[in-house]
Amino acid sequence: MQLLSLFLLAAFFVALWPLNIWHRSRASLAPAVFAGLLLGVVYGALLQVSREWGVRPGELLPWIELVGKGYVKLLYLLVMPLVLVSILGAVVKMHRTESLGKISLSVLAVLLGTTAVAALVGVMMAELFHLSAAGLVEGTREAARAEILNERAGRVEEFGIAQILLSFIPENIFLDLTGARDTSVIAVVIFAVLLGLAALAVRRENPEQGEAIERFVGIAQLWIMQLVRLVMAFTPYGVMALVAALIAKSSWADILNLFSFVVASFVAIGLMFLLHGALLLVNGISPLRYFARVWPVLIFAFSSRSSAATIPLNVETQIDKLGNSPAIANFSASFGATIGQNGCAGIYPAMLAVMVAVPLGIDVMDPIWLLTLVAVVVVSSFGIAGVGGGATFSALVVLPAMGLPVTIAALLISVEPLIDMARTALNVNGAMTAGTLTQRWLGKSGPETTGDTDSG
């Protein structure tokens, strides 16, 4: 490694020290996360420029990703214990089991309803920007990716709705607690609900033992949440490393080649954020107060590109900042990580469908075709977890269902990381919006709905 490379690497780790001081001097996590984001942008840009000085960023990135990916691994470590204990605790504390059904239906209604709108927004943006697959150039990377996608598409076609729903049901809970399956999060949710219902049955038959179970679950919740807060303290450093690595690896030439698609995607994502805000406003919730509290979660989702890894921070923010009940927070965060994702399952496959359909002479504004596309998008949003892989696999479900080729997904590989960051933030915000609206609809007002607390 060159002397300049060593200097740049040392500069990264030295920059963590003032970030640590800034973090410790603030009661809120938000300022430190924002500082980490800015430092990551500056350092990533510096690595881009350093190529002109003979520095090879690839030599430095493994060390930078040690911090970023290490933090993401710790978050993945939290996901299953947090989902299991939190959902179990929420059910055990319920005295009326019908509340469980109301929470689930409300959360799913928001997630799926906004996904349907997201699909229409994707179609509208593709039309407005005149996007088409006809003009895309297929390079070496794209050709290799196309071969992989065609192979995977064959496997995806084997998944029907019944098979997808069946995959949600846990068969070996110990396997699912390792996250081995794409549907592990939903499987753990189902197991936790069943275990909680069994605990309620025990309480009805033997109140003393039922109270002992509730105390045990309460202690486990406190223990896990303390672990969550411990890991959350590393968020600013993880964000800094993740953003620095993403910028350093970005190819601006590729982005410019597909500039219209990138702009259209970001406009569509922005419109969906506005829709989330409008839904909150209509229900008497201040969007400004809401976004002031959740933006650290969105920044992490943006930099990590993982809805699942964001679950712990999502849950903690909904409970502590938005005033949502633990049951609602955990259901919305868990469902939102795998079902009805506005960005990955709504906007992206709809835009790709239009881009492929236009060169084939299909009238994408035909009401029947449009309604069919929206219906397929909504239904397939359940299947993202069933087949794994986020936006790309959502496209692999939607495009064949509409009778369209899947090669387009490979041709957009160059700009995928950039757009996927914003899509993930939108997915996570959709989950938090679903939780916040559910909290309001069930007649329980937290700080966000009443405006009783400041926005720090």
244-268: pLDDT as tens digits: 887 777 666 655 656 788 899 999 9
| Mean pLDDT rounded to a whole number for the chain | 80
Q: How far apart are CA 315 and CA 328, in angstroms?
A: 9
What pLDDT is recorded for position 254? 55
What pLDDT is recorded for position 279? 97
Mean pLDDT of 269-295: 96
Q: How far apart are CA 307 and CA 318, in angstroms?
A: 15
Lowest mean pLDDT among 109-123, 252-266, 423-437: 252-266
Closest CA to 347 of 383, 302, 308, 378: 378
Per-residue pLDDT band at 387 (split at 50, 70, 90): very low
295-341: pLDDT as tens digits: 999 988 888 778 878 888 898 899 999 999 888 998 898 888 878 88
Q: Structure tokens of 374?
A: 């929206």
Per-residue pLDDT band at 143 (split at 50, 70, 90): very low
Does this model's pTM top 0.85? My answer is no
Ranges of H-type helices in 402-453:
407-411, 416-441, 447-450
- Is 137's pLDDT higher than 50? no
Q: Structure tokens of 234?
A: 């590393």
Mean pLDDT of 354-365: 86
What sign has the CA pseudo-torsion 436, 437, 441, 442? negative
157-197: pLDDT as tens digits: 555 567 767 777 888 889 888 877 767 777 888 898 899 88
What pLDDT is recorded for position 413? 56
Q: How far apart are CA 367 and CA 370, in angstroms?
A: 5
Mean pLDDT of 37-54: 81
Domain layout of the chain by residue ranges: 3-450
Q: How far apart are CA 26 and CA 99, in angstroms?
A: 38
Choose the most confident range, by mean pLDDT, from 72-86, 249-263, 400-414.
72-86
Lowest mean pLDDT among 81-95, 214-228, 360-374: 81-95
**What is the domain class of 3-450 according to CATH?**
mainly alpha
Higher pLDDT, 453 or 411: 411
Per-residue pLDDT band at 293 (split at 50, 70, 90): very high
Percent of the chain with pLDDT over 70: 80
Per-residue pLDDT band at 386 (split at 50, 70, 90): very low
Per-residue pLDDT band at 281 (split at 50, 70, 90): very high
What sign has the CA pseudo-torsion 310, 315, 320, 322? positive
Q: Structure tokens of 61?
A: 């990135």
What pLDDT is recorded for position 449? 42
Closest CA to 343 of 409, 413, 426: 426
- Is 429's pLDDT higher than 90? yes
